[in-house]
A and B are shown apart, each in its own frame.
Chain A
């Protein structure tokens, strides 16, 4: 005979399921409350009609219930198309540069002694300890027309090129180049850390095996290290590309105002133009554009996890 239950049915259920459900439930609740719910508001706003009231949109009455004018303008108005293109080109440029600069750094981190590795990893994260804005302002100072840094580059340029091409200063501020450089600087750790995590797990014996079979170090990298680090490249690439594409602060501070990025457009529509339905349409479009790469990421992630689980068997 089983002993009679001491607690009530509810307590029993809670012991069986409660804790587990609660722990899983908290992040879900958070996401529903602070992401899904606001996102539904944004979607609703995107199909509303602009009115001169406060808040500046309305449904029904003299307005159509669903107004897709905002979405239609995305395809007609070159401002939005250009903004999306600028965002994608800038973000892709920053991602590519982050990869080119970050990959050797991540690989280097796996090849140094354990002691110096921790110090170097800390140095990668160290910039986060300073305010992001302060760091962008520092770059503005460096790139400005009359800065010592610009002067140095100008002198070097004038020295190396014919006199006819001489310039007074190098135009760096308020260009897409400046946006890409600052984004490279800001997002580099997001590329290095996932790449490092990936490269650090690789079995160095495989490098030796490839060398033993006749491959020089460069061939070992191409055949063994690089193919195995693709999940890390994808993870780092998405962690840089997605926030870079929606970046607002950097293009506002150092970018070219005549070719704004999409974050700037959303911000302007909300504030200056006070066209909330249009701003919401752009925001929804941006999100849809980013979901694509995100799905690629999760696909690779689950594939890698499945493989790891299979290997453990």
Chain B
């Protein structure tokens, strides 16, 4: 449907200052209906401030937020069609699970019977029906998280804000909850905005990610887009691991650029980016899993000589740190497809690293 593509939430030139500190600087974002959108960034990047402005707890110093076409300026939190799942869950300690979930519904014009049915539906949705009469301190962390979710969804908000939804859970529970959140989002169709500092969480959960740094949005895009085509060194480094080297564009032909990389002591070919000129200084960045480790020099393509300096064996895969001719280190990642140790390079072994031209990222910023 065409309507689905219309921006549901528009954040227009929003800034927020606390005294002299600018927490959010001129942010523009559009978020579609029914999307899971992640705000990703380190601590103090402004993502939580942005979330609080959407919820109405903070007013933007400048700019406007529209939700479903409605200007939110001056609309208090209790009148916004937005609910939030707090990082600490903020469950009311003096109320049972059931009362917590029912709390928002008392402002709805509905019969006691309808309210009860709705609470039961919500508890079913998060599989907590049997804990309805427990107090929050009598259930586990994962269950509390689900109560918080049920409570936030009970009033059928147009937009659900999730502040670090998985941060307080242990690793096993996180993975499980991640998929549960996605399936609940699918079933309810509510637009989710997730704030997180965890790039893996953002990548698995979100349809689109906005990477933030020091109050500014650095890049917006689908997880693959942000990962494979980072717009800047910051984004490249923040999402996943990457090794970057200074390089100079030696020759351009079509969409292929030949760049001289002093650290490699050779020239390599990479896919050109728009606006590149010969002789320009750029950064060549490459992710560990894009490199292949070979015992002999491959006949074709990019090849760089090196020596294994360090290796970390994780079982299913290994991470190598390879010493390059000029003393730099590069990370390479290999899946351990074979069981035998002979198939794997060992410490101090001379190797050749190869990669496809399209795998190297040229960054002008």
Contact = CB atoms under 8 A, between A and B. Distances in A.
Interface string A28-72: 000000000000000000000000000000000000000000000
Contacts of B84: 208-209, 212
Contacts of B103: 210, 213, 215, 223
Contacts of B86: 205, 208-209
B104 A310 contact: no
A5 interface: no
Given A208-B57, A210-B103, A211-B77, A228 B137 contact: no
Interface residues of B, number: 25
A311 interface: yes
Contacts of B245: none
Interface in B135-176: 137-138, 151-152, 155
Among A212, A216, A310, the most chain B Cβ lie within 10 Å of the Cβ of A212
B88 interface: yes
Interface in B201-229: none
Interface string B178-209: 00000000000000000000000000000000
* B interface, over-half SS: mixed
A221 B351 CA distance: 69
B78 A216 contact: yes
Interface residues of A, number: 19
B16 interface: no
A206 B148 CA distance: 12
Contacts of A209: 84, 86, 90-92
Contacts of A210: 92, 103
A307 interface: yes
Interface string A210-232: 11111110000001100110000
Contacts of B316: none
A77 interface: no
B55 interface: yes
Interface in B20-37: none
B78 A214 contact: yes
Contacts of B94: 227-228
A122 B254 CA distance: 77
Among B55, B57, B82, B93, the most chain A Cβ lie within 10 Å of the Cβ of B93
A210 B90 CA distance: 9
B287 interface: no
Contacts of A7: none
A120 B77 CA distance: 30
A21 interface: no
A289 B55 CA distance: 52
Nearest to B88: A205
A227 B135 CA distance: 15
Contacts of A203: 88, 90
Nearest to A308: B137
A213 B93 contact: no
A311 B93 CA distance: 10
A283 B77 CA distance: 56
B47 interface: no
A212 B88 contact: no
B148 to A, nearest CB: 9
Contacts of A307: 137
Interface of B: 55-57, 76-79, 82-84, 86, 88, 90-94, 103-104, 107, 137-138, 151-152, 155
25 contacts: A205-B90, A206-B92, A206-B93, A208-B55, A208-B57, A208-B77, A209-B90, A209-B92, A210-B92, A210-B103, A211-B57, A212-B57, A212-B77, A212-B152, A213-B78, A213-B104, A213-B151, A213-B152, A216-B78, A223-B92, A223-B103, A227-B94, A310-B137, A311-B93, A311-B137
Interface of A: 203, 205-206, 208-216, 223-224, 227-228, 307, 310-311
Given A208-B77, A209-B84, A307-B137, 19 more contacts: A205-B86, A206-B93, A208-B57, A208-B86, A210-B92, A211-B77, A211-B78, A212-B56, A212-B78, A212-B152, A213-B107, A213-B155, A214-B104, A214-B155, A216-B76, A223-B92, A227-B94, A228-B94, A310-B138
CB-CB nearest 7 A-B residue pairs: A213-B104, A214-B107, A209-B90, A205-B90, A211-B77, A311-B137, A227-B94
